[in-house]
Amino acid sequence: MPIRSIAYVTKLLCCLVFGYFGLISGAFGESWKDRVYAHGFYTLDFTYSDSELGLVSNDRQSRSYEDDAAGLNNSVFGGQVEALVSDNLSTFFQGKVFFNDDDEAQFTLDWAYLSYDFGDDITIRGGKFLVPLLQGTELRSISYSRLWARPLIPIDGANGFHEYTGLELLKHIQQDSGSWQLQLSTGKPNHEDEDGEIESKNLQLFSARYQGESFWLRAATLHGNYTVKDGDDEILDDSASVLMSSLESEIILGPYVLNMGYATSDSDITVNGSIYYASLGYQMGHITPFIYTSLSREHYDNYNEPPPPGFDDGNGPPLPDPAPEPPEEDDRIRDGDYDINSMAIGIRWHAGEGYGFKIQWENIEQKNSAGVDTDDPANDGNTFTILFEGVF
């Protein structure tokens, strides 16, 4: 980019920022500092993997971990700014910087919305959001929000439906010992699909979260519609849909912290999946040793892709007459599951308010009764992670 263009863009941005804060403070005769809330987060993550692995990372759905390699490229840094334009109207932006597959720093804007408070704890928001299916989808980049190191959801946690642009209606309800947070949303998902075979159309979701004194519980469900295309951009199915649901909880019992979650997806075309996880931590002052286990299961039912035009029941073409043994050269996917099991132990150290360290060893193992081609990568191996994390 020419230097003159950079200077022009810089000046334009400065004018916009100062004009924006000037508008906020001028409109209310208050310092803009009183009406702006800023927060940030960071994770400096050093991970060693002894095998080639393809796992969810701090910044996106799937990152390749190379065989016998170590690095800091799972680190992520981000921040947010919320500005109260009036007593009822506010704007919110949250973005992050991470390292992409080429190990170059990249910026993405995860949240960007305008919010209007109707009173009576009802808020409507319009803009770009992350979906609330399991905390790991919504708070994937915020390592400090979880006990363990790597985001839990392996592979297809939300089937690529991680973010959307649309409208949200939020309602808070207070009770004597806790509160409800209800969320109703509609919009267009920005589907994460490298092959471009899934073109999302719309989604509707509902989430309910109860915060008690020593626990929280959240349930969410999402219905999405999408179009399936082949590699030549030909439409194979224009009315495919997916239904995803999740249930998640954290319970604190004295020094024990128990987290559990379950998510499932039922799709017309792509494979159906489910995820289970549980972790248990024991708080000893600032130190919390923990264990966790998770299972990601994709169920295949004679599935072959891509499905032929006009065939939209999600099961692909039927196999020929059953044979006692499939021929050796038959590499079609069979009835069965593709599982990824993960087991980890680690220690979290709260070094201070808002920052700390984690050390974690994780074993990942796959079981492949469906005959899915998993050479790239195999998802069998171990990772060792040391990270420094924080929020401010």
Partner 1 sequence: MKTFFLLIYLLLSSQCLGQMVVVMAKDADIQNLNDQHVANIFLTRTNRFPNGLKAIPIELKNSDIRANFYEEISGKNPTQLMAYWTTLIFSGKGKPPKGYNNVSSLISRLENNLGCISYISLAQVTDDLKIVYRFP
For the CB of residue 309, give the shortest distance to partner 1 in the complex, in Å: 41
| 354 lies in the site for partner 1, by CB under 8 A | yes
Residues 101-140 binding partner 1 (CB under 8 A) are 111, 113, 117, 119-121, 125, 129-130, 132, 135, 138-139
- Does 252 help bind partner 1 (rule: CB under 8 A)? yes
Angstrom CA distances, 392 to 39, 283, 354, 373, stand at 5, 22, 6, 43
Instruction: Identify which range of 67-75, 84-92, 315-323, 331-339 contacts partner 1 by CB under 8 A.
Output: 84-92
Binding flag, residue 391, partner 1 (CB under 8 A): yes
| 5 near partner 1 (CB under 8 A) | no
Cα 20 to Cα 36: distance, rounded to the nearest angstrom: 11
**Closest distance between partner 1 and the C-beta of residue 203, in Å?**
17
* Long-range Cβ contacts of 174-177 (<8 Å, 24+ apart): 174/121, 177/212, 177/213
Distance CA 367, CA 339 (A): 5
Rule CB under 8 A: which of 202-231 touch partner 1?
211, 213-214
**For partner 1, which residue of 3, 102, 104, 176 counts as binding (CB under 8 A)?**
176
User: Would you say 211 or 382 has its CB closer to partner 1?
Assistant: 211
Q: Which amino acid is at 296?
A: S
Residue of the chain from 18, 37, 107, 282 that contacts partner 1 (CB under 8 A): 37
Residues contacting partner 1: total by CB under 8 A = 43
Q: Which is nearer to partner 1, 5 or 174 (CB)?
A: 174
Q: How far is the CB of 51 from partner 1 (least distance, A)?
A: 32
State the minimum distance, in angstroms, from the CB of residue 350 to partner 1.
Answer: 5
| Footprint of partner 1 on 143-172 (CB under 8 A) | 144-145, 170, 172
CA distance 129 to 138: 9
How many beta carbons lie within 10 A of that of residue 320, not counting itself?
7
Interface with partner 1, residue 280, by CB under 8 A:
no
- For partner 1, the binding residue among 284, 286, 287, 330 (CB under 8 A) is 286
Nearer to partner 1, 132 or 307 (CB): 132
CB 220 within 8 A of CB 246: yes
Binding site residues, partner 1, CB under 8 A: 30, 34, 37, 39, 41, 80, 82, 87-88, 92, 94, 111, 113, 117, 119-121, 125, 129-130, 132, 135, 138-139, 141-142, 144-145, 170, 172, 174, 176, 179, 181, 211, 213-214, 252, 286, 350, 353-354, 391
